[in-house]
Structure 1
Amino acid sequence: MKRLLDYSITLVILLVLSFYLPRLLPGDPVSAIFGEEAIASMSEDMIADIRNKMGLDRPLWFQFLIFLRNVFRGDLGYSYYYREYVINIIKQSFPWTLSLIGVSLSISSILGFLLGLNASYRVGSNYDRLSFIAMVAVSSIPEFLVGIIMLVIFAVNLKILPASFSLSPSAFKAFLLPCISLICVDFPNSYITTRNLAVSIVKERFIETAKAKLKRDRRIKYVHIGRNVLYPVITRFLLRLSHLFFGVIFIEVVFSYPGIGMTLYTSIVHRDYAFVQICILLMSFIIVTINMMAEYLFAGGRT
């Protein structure tokens, strides 16, 4: 019950922030959307009419009430920059983001799980110490910087992958670079999580018994140890997923990837309140929901 109450309070806060944060951006949204030259050629009556259609001529508190009413009705609004309903923009861009996160998270999770188990079995060795230090170092690099590093290596220096995404016959190659970047963002966390959880299992008596019975190392690592860390790894998988929903925004911007993050960035630049406020609300809702699920599973695993 307490979790549900906390969740409800969080959603109310998100509703308020998603509305007010875009409006803290400097500049006039009408000028940002239509351009200074277009605005200069318009009469004051035309500009006033545009502001009226966008709802900008009303008090802020009244705009917020309209926003709340529309959200609860399922009316997400109209983007004057994209000349499209917000729900349609989300339907077009969100699958791109989901595909990028899905592929990257799957690969990084499998690699992190297998290599993390391997490192835990060799805890204290030079391999374990060096790999752990390397993973901690990589995990501390910001997402946008990871994207830039990958861009410089594969697109600028090696010239084997395109620098930006484009819907062309080479779209698969263009998908690889943002995918590799997101794998590099998530893999260290997957590795460290599995390794740290597995280290405590390695010290258990039943593992020593399995070793004494001369069972194969591979069976001990991937069956005895892997099976026992799987549940907590899945719980922390959800936390990594919520982190990626935030980190993917920076990766998409670096590579001009046509997902929700790139669309959000473009909307912020052009002060497109209608899309920005719904996008912030949607992403925040997803992240909070995933975190709540992870907390519930984690609490269930301890009981």
Structure 2
Amino acid sequence: MSIHMMLAAAYLPREVINQTQKAVLMKIADSADDQTRLARPGLERMMAWAGVGEKSTINVVTELVGDGWVERVSAGRVGRRAEYKVFPYGVPPIPTTEELIERRHAAQRAPKNPRLARPGKRRKPSPPALTQQDVAARKARAAAEAKAGLPEGNPAGEGGRVPDGEPGRFPQGNRAGSPGETPSFPSHSSVLPTPPTPTADAAGEPGMAEGDQVARGCPKHPRPVGNCRGCGTNPRAGREQARRDAVAGEHGAQQRWLREFLAEQERRVADRNPDALARAQQRTRDLARMGRERSSNSRRT
């Protein structure tokens, strides 16, 4: 049993070894000799210390060997335990209480997710304003920070401060062809008092003559409108109505062809056998009369 090596394994930081690996390493160190650092803990006892299964324990030992905490001297076989050497590259020192406190503070200062951490130190948030004097002092500090002057610095040969108002010239001088005063740039369209709507020019401008209006609205009306839905129609409804008209026209053409075909068949039968046509017509009239009489009898009853 080696208490010193077991304590050295117990104080390893969690950044380099997890809990399961630490438990298995402590068991191997507990079974090691103080002089040779050789140990034969046995698979069953390592499983009991770590609280995991056989395959997990074997994987943990393999990880310890790969990380350099343990060196496998001889492999285990039936009737003989495997032999390990603990800390083959040297036993790590046991940290003091001050080192443990500093380690804890460093872990608290470290970001939770280093990949998403900010590159620089975050600025401390300003305390909330408690009274009206705090608000006034904060405004005064903001006004003092916003000093009047040009971003490139004040022109040489003048006072340290630029008077309030727009400067008469830039420090690097006005551009060739520009007036002596400060040039102005056109404002953005979003600051206009009444920005134009997306369909403002659909029916033309209000001040334009009627002949100059651009026909961009519904083509079904002599005077175009801003939106085709303003008159109750839209292009989709027009296409659907055109499709329905085409279907109705095709159906009417088929019905006319069928009536002409039946009339032609009737003329052929009349030409070949007039008696059969007369009997068929008489049978049709008899069936119609029988249907009318049956309907009248049913109403009486």
TM-score interval, normalised by the smaller of the two chains: under 0.3
Q: For the pair shown, which has the larger CA radius of gyration, 1 or 2?
A: 2
TM-score relative to the length of structure 2 = 0.16
Q: Comparing both chains, which one has the higher relative contact order based on Cα–Cα distances under 8 Å and sequence gaps of 6 or more?
A: 1
TM-score relative to the length of structure 1 = 0.16
